[in-house]
Amino acid sequence: MPPDATPQNGQYMVAAYVVTGAIYLLYALSLWIRARRALRGSDK
Amino acid sequence: MTSAIPGQSTIRRGLWLIVLSLIALAGIYVLALQHTPIEARQGLAQKIFYLHVPAAWSALLSFGLVGIVSVLYLWLQDPRLDLFAASSVEVGLVFSMVMLTTGPIWAKPIWGTWWTWDPRLTLTLLLFFIFVGYLSLRAALSDRSERARFSAVIGIMGLLLVPFIHLSVYLFRTMHPTPIVLKPSAPSLPPVMLRTVLLSFGVATLLYIAFVMVRYGMAIGQYTREEADDAT
- Give the pLDDT confidence of A19-41 residue by residue, as tens digits: 999 999 999 999 999 999 988 87
The radius of gyration of chain A's CA atoms, rounded to the nearest angstrom, is: 20
Nearest CA distance, B41 vs chain A (angstrom): 6
Res A44 pLDDT > 60: no
Res B60 pLDDT > 60: yes
pTM: 0.93
Tell me the ipTM for this assembly. 0.92
Res B33 pLDDT > 50: yes
Angstrom distance (rounded) from CA B154 to CA B136: 11
Task: Please check whether residue B62 is in contact with residue B89, taking contact to mean a CB–CB distance below 8 angstroms.
Answer: yes
pLDDT tens across B157-212, in order?
999 999 888 888 888 777 788 777 666 676 778 899 999 999 999 999 999 999 99
Angstrom distance (rounded) from CA B192 to CA B35: 9
Number of neighbours of residue B33 by Cβ within 10 angstroms: 15
pLDDT tens across B6-23, in order?
789 999 999 999 999 999
Predicted confidence at residue B136, as pLDDT, reads 97
pLDDT tens across B126-138, in order?
999 999 999 999 9
Cβ of B3 and A42 within 8 Å?
A: yes
Cβ of A20 and B11 within 8 Å?
A: no
Q: Is the CB of B66 inside 8 Å of chain A's CB atoms?
A: no
Name the amino acid, one letter, at A41.
G
Angstrom distance (rounded) from CA B210 to CA B10: 10
pLDDT tens across B142-168, in order?
899 999 999 999 999 999 999 888 888
DSSP B90: H
Nearest CA distance, A40 vs chain B (angstrom): 9
